[in-house]
Amino acid sequence: MNSAANPTFEAYGHLLKTPENWAALGWAIDQQHFLTALEDCRRFRNGLMHFSPDPVTDDQLLPAQGLLELLRSVDPQI
């Protein structure tokens, strides 16, 4: 079950599209670049969890790695 305490990737995207919510983060990265990376990672996650019985290749991991790099640029402890 989805709730405010357990948001989905899609919910994060909707929340962070709002300029006020994005500004509240104070992140020095481009909003649209982050939202695109988040959406790419959401699609990767959904494909992996719902449709893929095969092992994940390095190329398939690129969306998750890209989002992780962005998050680490704003918080190196991630």
Secondary structure of residue 6 in the 3-state scheme: strand
Mind listing the pLDDT tens digit for each residue in 1-50? 456 677 888 899 999 999 999 999 999 999 999 999 999 999 988 888 87
Task: Label each residue of 34-52 as H, E or C.
Answer: HHHHHHHHHHHHHHHHHHC
Structure confidence at residue 3 (pLDDT) = 63
pTM for the predicted model, two decimal places: 0.82
According to DSSP, residue 58 is labeled T
Question: Any residues with CB less than 8 A from the CB of 20 and at least 6 apart, and which?
Answer: none
Mean pLDDT of 53-70: 89
Query: Does 34 map to a domain?
Result: yes
Number of domains observed in the structure of the chain: 1
Query: Does 3 map to a domain?
Result: no
Domain that holds residue 35: 9-74
Query: Does 30 map to a domain?
Result: yes
Amino acid at 21: N
Query: Does 49 map to a domain?
Result: yes
